[in-house]
Structure 1
């Protein structure tokens, strides 16, 4: 696992701007997903929201990232009652930084899109990453792994 540093830049979110290097919690979960309001992405966002209180108890902030606009994120958040922060990465700065833009086959046509991926950071240091994630059950897996990491058993 290559070391990925958190970029020291401001990014637009559903509630303003955020700098990932200035997150107050000890632990940070950043997950990348292709598009707001699509079936898999909705499942994933709702699952992280349902578990958000448990992540918070573990001093962990969960942040989702996609290339959708802030407005699209706000609509998605309102429609699904999401409690997690969503970053709008229209310029693909974070996507490229985390190397999650991959060539995909969409209905027989090759396109570049976000490969569903998740990263766990502890005090700014990458401690676990997931690539080619399946949406269903992923939030629960991340929570279980986070508990194991905090217990020192991973």
Structure 2
């Protein structure tokens, strides 16, 4: 089963930096859940920096940012330390969360087909309903677009 727009997202838990992530524990807050391919790669680093720069604006709009990739918690901890990321990152090594949100895709890398995460962002409102999704995200300006949407919910 994958999530659907304007439907409640089933509760899920996952290993994350700073402790276990649990969707139900965020009731009353808006969640910005963004999926990215890999820690410490150029596009993913830029995206993390852009979300980090707007973290206080998201917080002021009653929103929490959480990033998701298949990297290990150790890799995430290093990425957070290096980039001073102020939010949690989920380690989805078994792709459970990726499958729930339908972000695993076949991609072409150097002429070979590889399975990987399609850069995507989802907004789950304070009632746990999926209210917006962006798939196949281009990084420049994306965090600003997400923030504008989250602020429009207020």
* 1:149 correspondence with 2:150: no
Greater relative CO, 1 or 2 (CA 8 Å, sep 6+): 2
Q: For structure 2, which runs of at least 5 residues remain unmatched after alignment?
A: none
* 1:38 correspondence with 2:41: yes
Deviation at 1:5, TM superposition (A): 4.2
* Per-residue Cα deviation, 1:61-107 (whole angstroms, up to 9, x for no partner): 00000000000000000000000110000000000000000000000
4+ residue runs over 2 A deviation = 1-10
Deviation at 1:149, TM superposition (A): 2.9
Give 1:2's aligned residue.
4
8 A Cα contact 1:12 1:87, kept in partner: yes
Q: For structure 1, which runs of at least 5 residues remain unmatched after alignment?
A: none
Aligned residue pairs total: 150
Deviation at 1:18, TM superposition (A): 1.2
**CA root-mean-square deviation:** 1.4
Q: TM-score, normalised by structure 1?
A: 0.92
